[in-house]
Structure 1
Amino acid sequence: MSELLDRFELDEAVERQYRLGEAAERAGRLREAAVHFRVAADQRLGDGAVRLARVLFVLGEEAEAVRWCEAAVADGFPEAEELIRENSQARQRFLEHAARIMVGAPTFDWVPSGVPSRRVSAEVIATRTRALRALDQRYGGIACHTAVLEHLAEVEPMIVVDGSTWTAVAEVCELAGWTAFDSGLPGTALPHFAHALTLARQAENESLIASVLTRAGRMFLHHNAPDDALKAFQLGFVAAHNAWADRCALDDPPQAIAALTTKIGTYGEGRARTLALTALARNHLALGDVAAATEFAENAVASARNLRSSRAEDQLRRLFGEARAAGAFVLAEQVSAGFARS
Structure 2
Amino acid sequence: MNTIVTGGSPVTPDVWNGREMREALSERNISEIYRQLRKVGVSQRQIAASTGQSQSEVSEILKGRQVMAYDVLARIADGLGIPRGYMGLAYDGATAVRVANATSGPQAEEDESVKRRKFLSHAAAVTMGAAVFGKEEGTTWIPQDDVRTPAPANIGMSDVQQIQATTKALRDLDYRYGGGTCRDAVVAQLSWAQQLLDATASEAVKRKLFVSLADMQSLAGWTSFDTGLLDPARGHFGKALEFAKQAGDESLVASVLYRMGRVYLHHEEPNEALKLFQLGQIAAQESGSALTTAVLCANEAWAYGMLDRPDQVQKMVGRTKDEFARADPAEAPDWVRFFNVNDLHGMIGSANDALAVFNPEKYAPIAVAETIKCNEAYGADMQRTHVFGLSLQATNHIRAGDLQQGIKVGRNALTIGENVRSARVADRLKPLQIEAGKHRMNSDARDLAEEIRRFREA
Match of 1:183 in 2: 227
Number of aligned residue pairs: 216
Match of 2:69 in 1: 59
Separation in 2 of the partners of 1:38 and 1:52?
Answer: 16
User: Following TM superposition, by how much is the alpha carbon of 1:160 offset from its aligned partner in structure 2, in angstroms?
Assistant: 3.6
Match of 1:102 in 2: 127
Separation in 1 of the partners of 2:173 and 2:122?
Answer: 30
Give the TM-score normalised by the residue count of structure 2: 0.40
Match of 1:259 in 2: none
Match of 1:129 in 2: 167
Runs of 4+ with >4 A deviation: 7-10, 12-18, 36-42, 45-54, 81-85, 110-116
Q: Which amino acid aligns with 1:155?
A: A
Give the TM-score normalised by the residue count of structure 1: 0.52
Aligned match of 2:113 in 83, 88, 95?
88
- Tell me, yes or no, if structure 1 residue 11 matches structure 2 residue 21: no
Separation in 1 of the partners of 2:257 and 2:16?
Answer: 48
Change in CA separation of 1:12 and 1:244 when aligned onto 2, cut-off 3 Å = same
Cα-to-partner distance string for 1:269-311 (whole Å, 9 max, x where unaligned): xxxxxxxxxxxxxxxxxxxxxxxxxxxxxxxxxxxxxxxxxxx
Q: Secondary structure at the match of 1:156?
A: helix
Match of 1:224 in 2: 268
Contact 1:58 1:188 in 2 (8 A): no
Structure 1 segment 1-342 matched on structure 2, within 5 A: 11=17, 35=28, 41-44=34-37, 50=50, 59=69, 85-109=110-134, 117-119=150-152, 121-161=159-199, 163-164=206-207, 165-244=209-288
Change in CA separation of 1:224 and 1:171 when aligned onto 2, cut-off 3 Å = same
Cα-to-partner distance string for 1:79-110 (whole Å, 9 max, x where unaligned): xx996753221111111111111221111127
Separation in 2 of the partners of 1:116 and 1:89?
Answer: 35
Change in CA separation of 1:37 and 1:159 when aligned onto 2, cut-off 3 Å = farther
RMSD: 4.5
Instruction: Return 5+ residue gaps in structure 2 as ranges.
Output: 1-12, 55-65, 81-105, 135-141, 291-458
Contact 1:41 1:52 in 2 (8 A): no
Contact 1:37 1:52 in 2 (8 A): no
**Is the deviation greater in 89-98 or in 150-159?**
150-159
Q: Which amino acid aligns with 2:254?
A: A
Cα-to-partner distance string for 1:10-39 (whole Å, 9 max, x where unaligned): 726689789x99xxxxxxxxxx8xx27666
Change in CA separation of 1:160 and 1:91 when aligned onto 2, cut-off 3 Å = farther
Larger Cα Rg: Structure 1 or Structure 2?
1
Contact 1:177 1:188 in 2 (8 A): yes
Match of 1:319 in 2: none
Contact 1:59 1:187 in 2 (8 A): no
Separation in 1 of the partners of 2:110 and 2:120?
Answer: 16
Cα-to-partner distance string for 1:190-217 (whole Å, 9 max, x where unaligned): 0010000011111111111000000111
Change in CA separation of 1:230 and 1:150 when aligned onto 2, cut-off 3 Å = same
Separation in 1 of the partners of 2:185 and 2:47?
Answer: 31
Q: Which amino acid aligns with 1:185?
A: L
